[in-house]
Structure 1
Amino acid sequence: MKKLVLLLLLPLWSFSQTSHQELEWLLEQKNYAKAEKSAAMFVTNNPTDLKAIELLGDAYGYQEKWDEAMAQYKKLVDFKPKVANYHYKYGGALGMKALSVNKLSALTYLGDLKDAFLTAARLDKNHIETRWALVELYMQLPAIVGGSKNTSLKYANELEQLSQVDGYLAKGYIYEYDDEPELAELYYKKAITIGGSLTCYTKLTEFYEKQKKPEKAISNIEEAQDKLQRNALHYQLGKVSAEYNMQLEKGEACLKNYIKNYSPEDGVPIAWANYRLAQIYRHKNNKTEAFKYINLAIKELPEIKVFQEEKELISNR
């Protein structure tokens, strides 16, 4: 009898597993609308399937449908109130919803947002993403509604105990946000020394760009390229070169290398590399080449406004 019951249940279990895998695959392929439709249908038929509910929430989130995502993640919190990651995702959706409305309306989400992240942190002492969220939350909130640099540093210290790299990056973020560039640079460099990942180098490069220090940004990118050999770094160097009108020959060569070796994993579409080449040729007063590359950029992504603006700049040169 037990074997018969198992045989009857097996197809159901297999269907559930397959459906989860299919939904995850659709999300990985960035086919969010189809993932949403499939997940919604599956959840309708399986209203207590937590994995399916989570995947439906993720599908909504990727499409910035924050109300719908919040509703799904809230179900998870209600079903399993002691799972930290459910509170974290619910808090994340609340946070994104708050950013999408005016400041007065955003305040109505603040209590639930804090509670979700703090609950996640309490439930899981090793939840790195939650501590990152709390670092950013307490730095960005005005003091009048609970913002606190000291509280942010508290969670950065907790991060450092879990992962030195994350702790240093968090402190770099805090000091950069608080307009203490020397300390921000120090901690971003510490993160590179300990971790040496593309993320670490990118954070320092972005910091130098915000500080209007393109020479340091280029030097940092070149160091990263020597160690990591990533095609994405060719674009980053070309971008800095084009934006600041410096080391143009190097920037041109890097962007052409980026296009030659491009793969979707590099992240930035080729159109943007063509746009940066157009900028470089404009700086070099080579209108023919500038028009050639800006037209390529526009052909690929005609809806991008800055491409059209660049074409006008070239025309008026």
Structure 2
Amino acid sequence: MRKFLFLLVLPMVCFSQGKLEEISSFIQEKQFEKAEYQLIAYLKTHPGNLKATELLGDAYGHQKKWDQAIVEYKKLVELKPKTANYHYKYGGVLGMKALQNKLKAIGLIGDIKSAFTTAAELDKNHIETRWALVELYIQLPGIFGGSKSKSLHYAQELENLSKVDGYLAKGYVYEYDNEPDLAEKYYKMAIQTGGSLTCFNKLTTLYEKEKQPEKAIKTIEEAQQKHQRNALHYQIGKVAAEYNIELQKGEQCLQTYIKNYSESDGVPKAWAHYRLAQINVHKNNKETALKHIDMALAQLPKIKPFKDEKQKILNL
């Protein structure tokens, strides 16, 4: 009899798991509203299902419905207080609500800290939680518990788990604290250790922020040699156009970007034409600049910088 009952129950369990996998795929495909409605219906017949509750929290979070996401993740924290990832997600949506509502932010800080530190204590290998703590402690004012030393403490914990993450975290802390030389040091260490596009982008952004466009272009070129991404051609052209340096190289890179463009490159071709217009303004080529800005406006007619650039060109 028990074996017979088990055989009856098994298909129901498989169906249940299959349904959640289907709903999870909606989230991966960014069909968040569809996932939300199906999860609400699912939980009516499967109340207390942890996976469904977590997915519903995720669906709410992706839609920036912070209050609803908080409710779902809080259920998980209360039901499974020893699960680090539930505390991490709960702290994350509390943090997003705090950013959205500055008046309520002060009252949420304690709960945010508690959620993240609990997650870190429960899982000594939880990288995302440590990143959250690095950012939290460096961004919080001292009066609310902000602390550079605590931020660096969690950056060191990250380094112990992943050298690249640790170096990036330390670079982030020093950049935020206006110590660009130390930020540069750690971003370079991240590039030497890992060499991902993220590592190169962090260093490039730092150089642009510090008004060092020559170093920015050199770093992007190094990234291009390693990764061979068309999007990096646009980045070189952008820096050249913004800082009026290496204009010939910038123009060539932008033409290459347009020629090889695909949607996966991210930045629409219109922006490459806008940068080409800027470069030709620097070179006093009014006719060519006007041609490129008109092409940019033809593709994206509502972009204000494009309109402003055209007026600038007409006034030459």
TM-score normalised by length of structure 1: 0.90
Relative to structure 2, which stretch is displaced further, 254-263 or 210-219? 254-263
2:96 equivalent to 1:78: no
Flag the 1:85–1:270 CA change in 2: closer, same or farther, 3 A: farther
CA distance, structure 1, for counterparts of residue 127 and residue 192 of structure 2: 20
1:30 partner amino acid: K
CA distance, structure 1, for counterparts of residue 257 and residue 40 of structure 2: 40
The Cα of 1:69 is off from its aligned counterpart by 1.8
Flag the 1:232–1:149 CA change in 2: closer, same or farther, 3 A: same
CA distance, structure 2, for counterparts of residue 36 and residue 310 of structure 1: 43
User: How do residues 147-162 of structure 1 correspond to structure 2 at under 5 angstroms?
Assistant: 147-162=146-161
Structure whose alpha-carbon radius of gyration is higher: 2
CA distance, structure 2, for counterparts of residue 50 and residue 152 of structure 1: 32
CA distance, structure 2, for counterparts of residue 300 and residue 31 of structure 1: 27
Q: What residue is the counterpart of 2:274 in the other structure? A: 275
Structure 2 residue matching 1:147: 3-state secondary structure: coil
User: How do residues 65-214 of structure 1 correspond to structure 2 at under 5 angstroms?
Assistant: 65-102=65-102, 104-214=103-213
1:144 partner amino acid: I
Relative to structure 2, which stretch is displaced further, 225-234 or 200-209? 225-234
**CA deviation digits over 1:33-81, x for unaligned, max 9?**
3233333333333232222222222222222222222222112212211
TM-score normalised by length of structure 2: 0.91
Structure 2 residue matching 1:18: 3-state secondary structure: helix
CA distance, structure 2, for counterparts of residue 14 and residue 268 of structure 1: 43
CA distance, structure 2, for counterparts of residue 284 and residue 8 of structure 1: 78
User: How do residues 3-82 of structure 1 correspond to structure 2 at under 5 angstroms?
Assistant: 3-82=3-82
The Cα of 1:284 is off from its aligned counterpart by 3.5
CA distance, structure 2, for counterparts of residue 38 and residue 312 of structure 1: 51
2:279 partner amino acid: I
CA distance, structure 2, for counterparts of residue 49 and residue 273 of structure 1: 49
Q: Which runs of 5+ in 1 are unaligned?
A: none
Percent identical residues: 64
The Cα of 1:201 is off from its aligned counterpart by 0.6
CA distance, structure 1, for counterparts of residue 301 and residue 142 of structure 2: 43
CA distance, structure 2, for counterparts of residue 109 and residue 67 of structure 1: 12
Q: Which runs of 5+ in 2 are unaligned?
A: none
